[in-house]
Amino acid sequence: MSLTLPTYPQPDGRGRFGRFGGRYVPETLIPALDELERAYAAAKVDPEYLNELDRLLRDFVGRPSGLYLAERLTAHAGGAKIYLKREDQNYTGAHKINNCLAQALLAKRMGKQRVVAETGAGQHGVASATAAALLGLDCVVYMGAEDIRRQELNVFRMKLLGAEVREVTSGTSTLKDATNEAIRDWVTNVRDTFYILGSVVGPHPYPAMVRDFQSVIGEEVKVQHQALEGRPVPDAIVACVGGGSNAIGIFAPFAYLPDGERPRLIGTEAAGEGVDSGRHAASVAGGRVGVLHGAMMYLLNDDEGQIVPPHSISAGLDYPGIGPEHCLYSETGVAEYVPVTDAQAMDALQLCTRLEGIIPALETAHALHHAVELARTMRPDQTIVVNLSGRGDKDVAEVMRLLSLPAAQSSAPGTLHARPEVQA
């Protein structure tokens, strides 16, 4: 790992990736965003900050995470080699910690003693609470009531780590509403509070900053793929996309390669019960351009501008928008975004667990489903890297509940599978 942060193209002077992004926020926050932008610009070239971040990522998180050849999954698909980028190996169990430590260090550097965060699945909340405990900061996490129900154990983890978890009951009581509430807290306490945003969404500079912090994932892939395959660039990269932080983290280091050298970059959106069902969280496939949480992006919203409540089996993908840089990638064809349903994700979760002994997060299972489908269409000398963005321990109770539902009662999420076939 190098002691520099990569320098990918920055958004334009108004904080935009093409026509996406920007700063659609109450004026109260504009000076805070300017302050954050200046502090980040200074930190990213300050060896002291970078050394400390590097040390924590290595010794506290356990980076680099492995790039693991999933031999039995590869054999099952019968095509391209499937590699798993093991972000589930990170301390706290997902990629979220990469960004949280970097932002919490920045908060400390800016003299902000209090941090707030939103969380969906609870992974970002746990990672924020962890970073706050490590650095001695006060931490408040906003979480929707529905997600608190789905992710009880993560709620307790946050409390154990010393964070205060505030239940959000407005709107649909999920990630969108928790994010609104975190922003309201920030608007109110802006002078002494730092907002640790968990994804590549929100007002500028968050989408670019979170991308930079997560790009350690893709930068490691280059080195590891070189060592394993004798070339730095795989043929395809697949990652799940809610707001899109794990995907941008593995895409960005490859997205700005020239045409012809760039791997296929594929984001899997949560299609819930199907894009046509109206019960999904697929912002590219089923949304239209709009503004949410300070940024212009593809968004589930109706023709009067009201947000359409998203649905996904996975709390972490249950978000009505997608980060502005992903929107630009989609519009320019740099990356593709494909829908994967609840049922397909449930099947893929079980497949990966049975074949590889790795229980992936439900979010990640969306990417695994597509990777297996894609591998079938590719040659054995080609490679796919799947961002295994998080471990599934947090989902086990919810998976158990869904699998025990009578088939007639459950419209989508799947059935408990027998041992899958592995082709020779």
Partner 1 sequence: MSAPTPPTTPGAARLHAAFARAAQQGRAAFIPFMTAGYPTAEGFPAVADALLERADILEVGIPYSAPLGDGPTTQRASEQALGGGTSTRHTLRLVRDLRARHDTPIVIMTYVNPIYAVGPREFMRLAQEAGVDGLILPDLPPDQDLEIADLAAEHGIAVTFLIAPTSTPERVKLVSEACTGFLYAVSVTGVTGAREGSALGEVPAMLALARQYAQVPVAVGFGVNDAQTAQQVARVADGVVVGSAFINAVRNGQDVGALAASIADGCRKS
**Biggest distance spanned by C-alpha atoms of the chain:** 62
Contact (Cβ atoms closer than 8 angstroms) between residue 175 and residue 118: yes
User: Judged by CB, which is closer to partner 1: 52, or 331?
Assistant: 331
Cis peptide leading into 309, omega within 30 of 0?
no
Contact (Cβ atoms closer than 8 angstroms) between residue 209 and residue 218: no
Contact (Cβ atoms closer than 8 angstroms) between residue 122 and residue 155: yes
- Pick the binder of partner 1 from 23, 96, 279, 280 (CB under 8 A): 23
Tell me the two tokens of residue 198: 């968990």
Q: How far is the CB of 412 from partner 1 (least distance, A)?
A: 25
Instruction: Identify the active-site residue in 87, 173, 389, 398.
Output: 389
Is 269 an annotated catalytic residue? no
Q: How far is the CB of 28 from partner 1 (least distance, A)?
A: 4
Is 118 an annotated catalytic residue? yes
Contact (Cβ atoms closer than 8 angstroms) between residue 251 and residue 242: no
- Pick the binder of partner 1 from 22, 205, 207, 263 (CB under 8 A): 22
Restricting to residues 27-66, name those near partner 1 by CB under 8 A: 27-32
Q: How far is the CB of 192 from partner 1 (least distance, A)?
A: 11
Nearest to 240 by CA among 137, 340, 372, 173: 340
Residue 188 interacting with partner 1 (CB under 8 A)? yes
Is 410 an annotated catalytic residue? no
Instruction: Identify the active-site residue in 44, 85, 96, 394.
Output: 96
Instruction: Identify the active-site residue in 87, 118, 220, 273.
Output: 118
Give me the 195-234 binding string for partner 1, x by CB under 8 A, dash otherwise: ----------------------------------------
Binding segment for partner 1 among 126-134, 222-230, 286-294, 379-387 (CB under 8 A)?
A: 286-294
Task: Return all residues near 264 (Cβ < 8 A) that are at least 6 apart.
Answer: 235, 236, 237, 336
| Alpha-carbon dihedral 9, 10, 15, 21, rounded to 10 degrees | 50
Phi and psi, residue 328, nearest 5°? -65, -45
Could you list the residues that contact partner 1 (CB under 8 A)?
14, 22-32, 170-171, 176, 180, 183-184, 187-191, 288-294, 299, 301-307
**What amino acid positions are annotated as catalytic residues?**
96, 118, 389
